[in-house]
Amino acid sequence: MAALAALRALRRLCGVALFLSQLYVLSGRAGSLMTTKHSQPQSTFAKSLTSTSTNTPYFKIPESTEIPPYVTKCPSNGLCSRLPPDCMTCNTNYSCIYGKPATFDCKVKPYVHCVDQNNHEQENFTVNMTCQFCWQLATTDYVCTNSTNCMTVSCPRQRYNATCTVRDHIHCLGNRVFPKMLYCNWTGGYKWSTALALSITLGGFGADRFYLGQWREGLGKLFSFGGLGIWTLIDVLLIGVGYVGPADGSLYI
């Protein structure tokens, strides 16, 4: 009887253990389901935060209001045909006859305002000019750089490479800035009349050579008394015709 009672108690104990194990399993599944359900919205929210933080916020970029530098050269509400070339864009017609008048269709650049003969604002207009390239213009129509490193008084006369720019009111074909070979034409402030007067009056003492910056020739004339007068006469002729000039190679004024 005691063995039978122990066997029944053992069966009850096993049933209780089985019930507890099933209850534990069921509670674990329920917890995982609850965790999954709660984690999905959180991950979606985190994903939305991530996408929002990495993407650039959408807003309209304001247009640039910076005024181009060429506008300062363009007179406001002036005649379109008298605008400087930097203020317009023209259709180049290279089939025109050289040296003959030609008409070109032009359009003003942005931020440029001009009018016609009737004081009406316009964008498209025509410009009349002579058919020629910019480097073929007269010397008075462009400005060139000057060189102080070349000799103006030399035989043959020296040239230098200059960069020339067409004046604003001149219209022409091609590049408005171009290179050109020019004769040396700079001056250091020496006067031809002063040099000639010194050569005639005080040439025997080398005053003319000293004035022109030629110190060695001046000392030679001073200690030789103008080469006994011969050197003095020769210098008067050379300075008179302009063959002898300033030592720095510049022109007389």
Q: What is the pLDDT of residue 233?
A: 92
**Parallel, antiparallel or unpaired: strands 177-183 and 124-130:** unpaired
pLDDT of residue 181 exceeding 90, the answer is no
What is the rounded CA–CA span in Å between residue 248 and residue 233? 23
What is the rounded CA–CA span in Å between residue 249 and residue 253? 13
Which of residues 30 and 20 earns the better pLDDT score?
20
157 neighbors 141 (Cβ within 8 angstroms): no
177 neighbors 137 (Cβ within 8 angstroms): no
Q: What is the mean pLDDT of the chain?
A: 77
User: Using one digit for the tens of pLDDT, what is the confidence trace for 209-235?
Assistant: 999 888 888 898 888 888 888 999 999
User: Using one digit for the tens of pLDDT, what is the confidence trace for 115-124?
Assistant: 888 888 888 8
What is the rounded CA–CA span in Å between residue 90 and residue 27? 85
Q: What is the pLDDT of residue 43?
A: 44
Q: What residue type is assigned to position 116 of the chain?
A: D
Which of residues 153 and 127 earns the better pLDDT score?
127
183 neighbors 157 (Cβ within 8 angstroms): yes
Coil, strand, or helix at residue 126? strand
N residues, the chain: 253
Q: What residue type is assigned to position 221 of the chain?
A: K
User: Using one digit for the tens of pLDDT, what is the confidence trace for 139-157?
Assistant: 889 999 887 777 666 666 7
User: Using one digit for the tens of pLDDT, what is the confidence trace for 168-178?
Assistant: 888 888 889 99
pLDDT of residue 188 exceeding 50, the answer is yes
b/e map 55-89, b = 16+ CB within 10 Å: eeeeeeeeeeeeeeebeeebeeeeebeebebbbbe
- End-to-end Cα separation, the chain, in angstroms: 149
Give the pLDDT band of residue 42 (cuts 50, 70, 90). Answer: very low
Which of residues 57 and 15 earns the better pLDDT score?
15
What is the rounded CA–CA span in Å between residue 235 and residue 226? 9
2 neighbors 10 (Cβ within 8 angstroms): no
Which of residues 145 and 253 earns the better pLDDT score?
145
Domain ranges of the chain: 71-131, 142-183, 192-241
Give the pLDDT band of residue 85 (cuts 50, 70, 90). Answer: confident
